[in-house]
Amino acid sequence: MSPLSVDALAGCGNSLAAAPSVREPLHAPVAHLVRGGVVEGVHHGSVVVLAADGSVELQLGDIEAAFYPRSALKPVQAVAMLRAGLPLDGDLLSLAAASHSGEERHLAGTRRILELAGLTEDDLRNVPDLPFHPVVRENWIRAGRLPSRLAQNCSGKHAAMLYTARLNGWSLDDYLNPEHPLQQAIAEIVEDLTGQGIARVTVDGCGAPLFAVSLHGLARAVARITTAPAGTPEARVADAMREHAEMASGSGRDVAALMRAVPGLLAKDGFEGVQVAALPDGRAVAVKIADGADRARVPVAAAALARAGVDAGVLGEFGGGPVLGGGAVVGHIRPTRPLDPLPPAPSGGRG
């Protein structure tokens, strides 16, 4: 992406804070892999916990450096599309904000969005891929099916982008260009909800523009979505994702399970170890695992939610996966002590 794209999309309004600094993040240890009472591995990262009034209740690492939220930004992108006239609600709106597993319901939903727009899979410009979920992917391969744009985990978002562009009379072939009116509209809402300028623009794995903000800004944006008045685009996105959690992710996915376990919680994951979650009263958490390891993402997010006041008993199943030795549990992945208010792991120590 050219520097001109950054200039075109970065905010300069008086109500916005400056774009976050582009620098090497000063991450801190946020999770330990403990085997037999010994810390075998350390995951670094950054964590922010916001109180209901928006103040920072806890921070670890570097919450103000520019970073890429990856798919954790999809709820914000969905809000932008609703503000631009996208008429979706319910399961299809949840799919528009999804990183889906590629199940048949996800494929069927994406086709429905395209049909509403008078378009087909051929109009999608995301990268062809196999389904995201390992079991769904294995069955797909066994059936002799090839990678497709429909199966790629961002196809719902792309179908919604096309629908939004068509409704506004915008061109379709170049809807992923950062200078396209659709992407300009999305960038404007990213800045509005995060409260800060965009630091950089690049290309996400699916081919869509990706905006660099801060972890603090991401948490602030999702908190604004969950606290918005009923009927607003923000509230519609939150309601759709909470009510159709498996449409926003997939069967057996941890982010859907987290939303089911914590009443009113809106949660979204992103590649490279990103997780964001917020409650209707404005409490919010955002997590970035520095090495992108998915195994640390949920335990750290659960610990952050507990620090935000969510009942630790409800979060117990998300507190860290077991470390096995000879088929037996000999340790766990656990958040570090400055973060973790959850009960100690049942065996193997925690470090």
Closest CA to 244 of 93, 116, 72: 93
Task: Residue count of the chain, please give it.
Answer: 351
Helix segments in the chain, DSSP class H: 3-9, 74-83, 90-96, 104-116, 134-142, 155-167, 181-194, 215-226, 233-243, 254-261, 294-307
Cα–Cα distance for residue pair 335/327, rounded to 1 Å: 23
The C-alpha angle with vertex 4 and arms to 288 and 6, in degrees rounded to 5, equals: 25
- Give the C-alpha distances (Å, rounded to integers) separating 69 from 6, 14, 141, 153, 212: 16, 24, 30, 16, 7
In this structure, which amino acid lies at residue 153? N
Residues 6+ apart with CB under 8 A from 297: 269, 273, 274, 275, 287, 289
Q: What pLDDT was estimated at residue 350?
A: 34
Residues 6+ apart with CB under 8 A from 129: 147, 148, 149, 151, 152, 153
Cα–Cα distance for residue pair 183/271, rounded to 1 Å: 21
Q: What pLDDT was estimated at residue 349?
A: 37
Structure tokens at 237: 């996105």
Q: What pLDDT was estimated at residue 6?
A: 43
Residues 6+ apart with CB under 8 A from 55: none
Q: What pLDDT was estimated at residue 338?
A: 81
Q: Is 214 helix (H, G, I), strand (E, B) or coil?
A: strand
- With the CA atoms of 190, 192, 194 and 196 taken in that order, what torsion angle do they form, in degrees rounded to the nearest 10? 100
Closest CA to 30 of 290, 282, 281: 290
Along the chain (351 residues), what's the average pLDDT of each consecutive run of 10 residues? 39 70 96 93 97 97 98 98 98 98 97 98 97 94 96 98 98 98 98 98 97 98 98 98 97 95 97 98 98 93 96 88 90 86 45 39
Closest CA to 102 of 153, 148, 154: 153
Structure tokens at 21: 């600094």
Q: What pLDDT was estimated at residue 341?
A: 60
H or E element at residue 183: helix 181-194
Ramachandran area for residue 327 (φ above 0: left; ψ -120 to 50: alpha; else beta): left
Which backbone phi and psi does 283 adopt, to 5 degrees? Answer: -65, 135
In terms of C-beta density within 10 A (0-12 exposed, 13-18 middle, 19 or more buried), how is residue 281 classed?
A: middle
Q: pTM above 0.75?
A: yes
Cα–Cα distance for residue pair 86/302, rounded to 1 Å: 33
In this structure, which amino acid lies at residue 69? P
Q: What pLDDT was estimated at residue 244?
A: 98
CB atoms within 10 A of CB 168: 13
Cα–Cα distance for residue pair 255/288, rounded to 1 Å: 15
Ramachandran area for residue 326 (φ above 0: left; ψ -120 to 50: alpha; else beta): left
CB atoms within 10 A of CB 166: 17
H or E element at residue 331: strand 328-335
